[in-house]
Every structure is written in C-alpha cells, then in structure tokens.
Amino acid sequence: MQRFDGIDPAFLWQLNANADRPDLAVILEADPEVISERLNERGPHNRFQLLPGSSHTEVHFYRQATERLIQAGFDVLRVDCNRRPPEQSAVFIRDQLMRFFAPGKE
C-alpha cells in the first residue's frame, strides 16, 4: 500500500531485506470491478481506497508484488476472491494452510 504514496518498490524491498522471511505469503486477488463494488457496499477501510480508481491501482501493485515474491523464491498462495464470499475464502485459505503446514510435508 506504500506504493500509493509513490514509494519505490526497490526501496520497499530493501527496507524489508532483514525481516524474517515468511513461510508462505497469502495474496487475496480480485478484479478491480469486484473490489470497487465491494468498496461501494462496505465503505473504504483506509485513505487509499478513497482515491478514484484505487481498485485498479491496488490490483496493479499487488500483481507486481506477487510476481516479485515468486521471482525471489517465496512460497505464494494466490486466492481468487472474485466469486467467493469472505467465509468461503477463509475456509479455502484454512484448508490450504493445513496442507502447507501438515506434519511430514517436505
């Protein structure tokens, strides 16, 4: 989200270089139109979501970040939230986490 403030992605990557590497990055994805519709229904949760076209910009930034994580060798779980209500997305994520962290998984 710092990208909305014009922060360079390379700087953000450098800023987090010494942070503990996560076992798994979970990325929630949806089309900009779906995000915009949901924002209109529930209202914004942060100042970035008040900007015109924010859903398109957010999708663009998240796609870039996801590709960067994958290229860097991170394990990434991409969750398509276009047609799932939040409860179904939560169940899907839980099930994927249970598999990912299952005992004996190599």
CATH of domain 19-100: 3.40.50.300
User: What would the pLDDT profile of 17-48 be if each residue is shown by its tens digit?
Assistant: 999 999 999 999 999 999 999 988 988 888 88
Residue 6 buriedness (CB in 10 A; 0-12 / 13-18 / 19+): exposed
DSSP state of 22: P
Q: What percent of the chain has pLDDT over 70?
A: 98
User: Could you state, in order of their start, the residue ranges of all structural domains in the chain?
Assistant: 19-100
**Which tens digits make up the pLDDT trace of 40-96?**
898 888 888 888 889 999 999 999 999 999 999 999 999 999 999 889 999 999 999
Nearest residue to 62 (alpha-carbon basis) of 18, 25, 28, 23: 28
Confidence of residue 105 (pLDDT cuts 50, 70, 90): low
State the pLDDT at residue 8.
92
